[in-house]
Structure 1
Amino acid sequence: MGIRRTTLPGIGTQYDVTTRTGRNLSVVVHQDGRRFLGFYEADDPDACRMSVPLEAEEAAGLARLLDPTPLEAVRTDGIGLVTEQIPVGSRSPYAGRPLGDTRARTLTGASVVAVVRRTSAHPSPGPDFRLAIGDILVAVGTREGVDALAAIVAGS
């Protein structure tokens, strides 16, 4: 499998993937967080046969389906803790608000240990760190606590 990364000035980044069987697809990540999954023929990568727009939470869910235990994840098996990536979706009541407004640790016991925003990571964000649509919260806690935090961030 080959992956080619192309910067699209003013738009974002395109990742072209060619599988071992010769199938071609691309993922375009726009600067505003939008993502598109596209399918194309090898002889004409500009002629997209089909494009599927994905919301941030859909892209995160698809990534978890493709690789439910990513290598970069913190492994906490066997000690009662889990590490989870929680997307801040377009329907989250916390988009544009400080992380402290979630009261994550107080309400759930789970801790947000980092926020990943587009191409940069913000380790140990403080309570005044403003969340944005498309952010991914890296949370550590019990399964129940992390699930409760995901529900809070989603507005459920």
Structure 2
Amino acid sequence: MGTRRTSLPGVGTQYDFITEEGRHISVVVHHDGRRFLGFYASEDPDACQLEVPLSSDEATALAHLIDPAPIDAVRTDGIDLVTEHIPVGARSPYSGRLLGETAARTRTGASIVAVLRRTGAHPSPGPDFRLTTGDTLVAVGTREGVDALADIIAGG
């Protein structure tokens, strides 16, 4: 099982997911909140067999079916805010480094509000918090800011 995240300039972000059985599922998240599910042929991972467009409400309903407690987007004063989990992978340039070295808020406008680690959650981590491979950052910001932060953490 593996996932890959790809920034689509001017469009949004594509998330590719490979199941344990080798099935390829793709989710494209547009900047305006629209989502598309893509299902690919196992014998040809580039051949999309079916694409299903989802409105934001439909995507939320589907997420609730898969995970009864997903983190939803928050809308405040006409500004769309999203909350997203961002993994710190083995290839991240920030694994083993201090959170402050990411300069996340300055570079993207997104805030890291917690770090989830196997040993527990660390809410409101300070700049001296050391990130490790396997951590999951809980980030809040605009879609563009959170996407930019995910690219930075991934080393993109």
Q: TM-score scaled by structure 1?
A: 0.55
How many aligned positions are there?
101
Unaligned runs of 5+ in 2: 6-15, 20-26, 28-61
1:13-52 paired onto structure 2 within 5 Å = none
How many Å apart are 1:80 and its aligned residue?
0.9
1:76 to 63, 74, 77: 74
Aligned partners of 1:110, 1:126: CA distance in 2, in Å? 15
1:103 partner amino acid: A
How many Å apart are 1:73 and its aligned residue?
1.5
1:1-156 paired onto structure 2 within 5 Å = 68=63, 70=67, 71-77=69-75, 79-156=79-156
Unaligned runs of 5+ in 1: 1-51
| Structure 1 partner of 2:39 | none
Aligned partners of 2:142, 2:123: CA distance in 1, in Å? 20
Q: Deviations over 1:126-155 (max 9, x none)?
A: 000000001000000000000000000000
C-alpha RMSD over aligned residues: 3.0
1:76 partner amino acid: V
Aligned partners of 2:84, 2:94: CA distance in 1, in Å? 18
Checking the alignment, whether the CA contact within 8 Å between 2:63 and 2:70 is kept in structure 1 is no
Runs of 4+ residues deviating >2 angstroms? 67-70
Deviates more, 1:112-121 or 1:132-141: 112-121
How many Å apart are 1:68 and its aligned residue?
4.3
How many Å apart are 1:96 and its aligned residue?
0.3
Aligned partners of 1:118, 1:83: CA distance in 2, in Å? 20
Task: Answer with 1 or 2: which has the greater Rg.
Answer: 1
How many Å apart are 1:119 and its aligned residue?
4.3
Structure 1 residues 68 and 92: alpha-carbon distance in aligned structure 2, compared to 1, 3 A threshold: farther
